[in-house]
Amino acid sequence: MIMQKWTRSGDFLRFCCKSLTYLRSKENNSVYSSVSGFVHGYESKSKLFEPNDGNHNIELQHRCSGRNLGMQQQYRCFGSSSASKIQRNPLFSSLDAKDISYFKEILGEKNVIEDEERLETANTDWMHKYKGSSKLMLLPKNTEEVSQILQYCDSRRLAVVPQGGNTGLVGGSVPVFDEVIVNVGLMNKVLAFDEVSGVLVCEAGCILENLATFLKPKGFIMPLDLGAKGSCHIGGNVSTNAGGLRLIRYGSLHGTVLGLEAVTANGNVLDMLGTLRKDNTGYDLKHLFIGSEGSLGIVTKVSILTQPKLSSVNLAFLACKDYLCCQKLLVEAKRNLGEILSAFEFLDNNSMDLVLNNLVGVRNPVSSSENFYILIETTGSDETYGREKLEAFLLKAFEKGLVSDGVIAQDINQASSFWHIREGITEALQKAGAFYKYDLSLPVEEIYNIVNDLRGRLGDLANVMGYGHLGDGNLHLNISVKDYNDELLGLIEPYIYEWTSKHRGSISAEHGLGVMKANEIFYSKSPETVALMVSIKKLLDPKGILNPYKVLPRSLISDDH
């Protein structure tokens, strides 16, 4: 609709695309937060976990049939073939009264949680896909307490699951059996902020959004932004090497995290909490803890490079007729928007329809239905320049035929509604019924081939949707189905993993392996590197107590542990 005018008149912009200073976290953070919290169901989390929340609970029982069988316990989790049939490691001890007494002694009564309702929440992931049966959650207040807990658990060989906001997508942050949950939520203090360097030092339990709020009046932003920001902890972000929406601009946490403090399995505190951009003194060990999903240690403090908040943010919602256009548009955007490009997201028409059909009050910003939709966000320090640059870029893209329709958000509400479409896909998926969820990295030119191939393979059995962080080569591949069904799952897995492996992609771009994909690591990593990972795991956690059954193939770990 709007784009049609672009060919006719140079002054279309005055007419239809009013400027937007889309101050995502400056002016109207609350709008954005509510969107993102909502998307991943965080706002309604307590409701989701209500014992009487009928439908959800039926599904929960249907999906997760983990039963407490003591040492012979068997774990079963619907929705992922690979997490099935895990045996509890018989070498792990079981909790006894003396253990509880000890923990109460060091942490105080109120931070040793045995309450069933709170444990129910802590045992279950937010998707209701994974469920453990832990009888104990510990809430340490500082590093020393984490150290004492781990030292004790290591000596008793009690298994431990480190937990932050419990917003993971691969069952990494909930127990598989009866592991002791160590939740760092009480360790939520900002320890230092340097306005010259922009370096923030804080405890691991700080909620990402709270850090953003802390930085806002100082004129800085966090280098990462996620849909889950209202619940996720910075320690969990680091432990899972969270990606998110700003990676295209500010890079991964391996680049922006400057230092860490972590406690290893035996209670040893590793002070790697540097605040320097450059430090070449020995091996940079903090990287071992970034993305190892709590299996090598519990991150207790984080030092991170924040970014100056730039005042001019613009957002365009575009329609493209085919995937090649999306791909070409990305190359052009990288080159021509260069230093101001801050997000490049895509969704296909199936994803759009899913959102339109399942979320209330959402409408397609462009008038006509197309095969693909793109969100381009720019962030810069000059409002006029940023807007004009984006407009000129879009006009050229339209003239070249890369874009068939599109609109630039005119105010914060419009921008928010654009983002709501992209971020609302997960929620819409949940509302639509059963689903399988994959998170793949692939060469950009291959990204949509797997969607098409899978669509052909599953036919009418499922609705296959592709969306994600195109700028980073990250596809979120979702499959909406009528019911969970092992036969159908057999058509999906290992097909998706094999396809990804063949194209040298990653079977987990940003979600991690957790319990869902621990055994699938060889699709993305060579045997030699996995063997070295196992050696490092055994070096740092010889008794295997930290986040067991996850990240690494269970057969390689359980032999000796």
CB 44, min distance to its own copies, A: 27
Q: Is 315 in the site for its own copies (CB under 8 A)?
A: no
- Residue 240 φ then ψ, to 5°: -105, 5
Q: Which is nearer to its own copies, 175 or 512 (CB)?
A: 512
Q: Is 288 in the site for its own copies (CB under 8 A)?
A: yes
Residue from 1, 58, 191, 285 in contact with its own copies (CB under 8 A): 285
Q: Is 294 in the site for its own copies (CB under 8 A)?
A: no
| Residues 514-533: x where in contact with its own copies by CB under 8 A, - otherwise, as a string | ---x---x-xxxx-xxx-xx
Local structure of 44: helix, strand or coil: coil
Residue from 85, 334, 400, 482 in contact with its own copies (CB under 8 A): 334
Judged by CB under 8 A, the chain residues 259 through 278 that form the site for its own copies are: 268-272, 274-278
Q: Is 560 in the site for its own copies (CB under 8 A)?
A: no
Residue from 210, 349, 449, 506 in contact with its own copies (CB under 8 A): 506
Q: Are 548 and 560 in contact (CB under 8 A)?
A: no
Residue from 116, 120, 399, 445 in contact with its own copies (CB under 8 A): 445
Q: Are 398 and 6 in contact (CB under 8 A)?
A: yes
Give the helix, strand, coil percentages of the chain, each rounded to 5.
40, 20, 40
Residues in the chain: 561
CA atoms of 399 and 389, how far apart (whole Å): 15
CB 195, min distance to its own copies, A: 7
CB 103, min distance to its own copies, A: 24
Q: Is 111 in the site for its own copies (CB under 8 A)?
A: no
Residue from 99, 423, 427, 510 in contact with its own copies (CB under 8 A): 510
Q: Is 437 in the site for its own copies (CB under 8 A)?
A: no
Helix axes 447-458, 495-502, angle to 10 degrees: 150
Q: How many residues bind its own copies (CB under 8 A)?
A: 93
CB 419, min distance to its own copies, A: 20
Q: Which is nearer to its own copies, 272 or 492 (CB)?
A: 272
The C-alpha R_g of the chain, in whole angstroms, comes to: 24
Identity of the residue numbered 419: W
Q: Are 289 and 300 in contact (CB under 8 A)?
A: no
Judged by CB under 8 A, the chain residues 366 through 405 that form the site for its own copies are: 379-382, 385, 389
Q: Which is nearer to its own copies, 50 or 446 (CB)?
A: 446
CB 94, min distance to its own copies, A: 29
Judged by CB under 8 A, the chain residues 533 through 552 that form the site for its own copies are: 533, 535-537, 539-540, 551-552
CA atoms of 517 and 499, how far apart (whole Å): 15
Q: Which is nearer to its own copies, 14 or 504 (CB)?
A: 504
Q: Is 340 in the site for its own copies (CB under 8 A)?
A: yes
Q: Is 306 in the site for its own copies (CB under 8 A)?
A: no
Q: Is 327 in the site for its own copies (CB under 8 A)?
A: yes
Angle made by CA atoms 300, 211, 126, in degrees to the nearest 5: 75
Q: Is 164 in the site for its own copies (CB under 8 A)?
A: no
CA atoms of 200 and 213, how far apart (whole Å): 13
Q: How many CB atoms lie within 10 A of CB 248?
A: 22
Contact region with its own copies (CB under 8 A), list: 28-36, 150-158, 414-422, 507-515: 507-515
Phi-psi region of 148 (alpha: psi -120 to 50; beta: other; left: phi over 0): alpha
Phi-psi region of 45 (alpha: psi -120 to 50; beta: other; left: phi over 0): alpha
Q: Which of 383, 365, 361 is nearest to 375 (CA)?
A: 365
Q: Which of 176, 125, 160, 191 is nearest to 298 (CA)?
A: 160
